[in-house]
A and B are shown apart, each in its own frame.
Chain A
């Protein structure tokens, strides 16, 4: 059974700092991996999708990497801003099953 773990559970940083969020998964037979953002009381917003054959994806200040063989992904946020404060969730699509398995998320707080 696929398990997705995110470390740390919470992170507080000063504005402007570069930071890394970690995601690990137990079964490397994934179809793709996605990073989502969730604001309090809101739904999820897809940030980046990495196909199993890819190593990284970039969108603006966000960069996500994938090392499928080691079961790890990282989300790098450059020059963090208070508006980046949210919970970030990692999810894997297990073998094209169309069923995302989510981690519990990392709650990020960026202090002005």
Chain B
């Protein structure tokens, strides 16, 4: 069974440019998370989806970040315009039943470098 798939794995852009990351969760997983991981830090939650509904986006900087999960499967995270401080790894994770199951699966991440 395929794991959580993210693309692109690496992206280098100039500041003020837009960028988008894509995530395909494990089949059947209703819950999808986007996390931000800065170098040397633990991940921080950006947004959580239950099916197609964003149930927690309180930590998503909505002035420049947006996300969608059409049809409750794949998800896209967009940054427009990117700033130097957005350089980080963006991790997608999915779960069949939420955190309490211990079944939380992460993708390998998309590493963004903003020049």
Q: A residues bordering B, Cβ < 8 Å? A: 4, 31-32, 34, 41-46, 48-49, 51, 89, 91, 93, 96-105
Contact = CB atoms under 8 A, between A and B. Distances in A.
Contacts of B93: 43-44
A45 B93 CA distance: 10
Contacts of B100: 31-32, 49, 51, 93, 96
B38 to A, nearest CB: 10
Contacts of A46: 102-105
B42 A43 contact: no
A41 B42 contact: no
Contact of B42 (A32, A51, A103): A103
A44 B37 CA distance: 11
Given A4-B42, A102-B41, 10 more contacts: A31-B100, A34-B99, A44-B43, A51-B100, A93-B100, A97-B56, A98-B48, A98-B55, A100-B45, A104-B42
A94 to B, nearest CB: 10
B26 interface: no
Per DSSP, chain A at the interface is strand
Given A43-B108, A45-B106, A93-B99, A99 B43 contact: no
B91 interface: yes
Interface of B: 4, 31, 40-45, 48, 55-56, 91, 93, 98-109, 111
Contacts of A43: 4, 91, 93, 106-109
Nearest to A49: B102
Nearest to B100: A32
Nearest to B9: A41
A38 B104 CA distance: 13
Contacts of B56: 97-99
A102 B102 contact: no
B41 A104 contact: yes
Contacts of B99: 31-32, 34, 93, 98, 100
B115 to A, nearest CB: 20
8 contacts: A31-B99, A43-B4, A49-B100, A49-B101, A49-B102, A89-B43, A93-B99, A102-B44
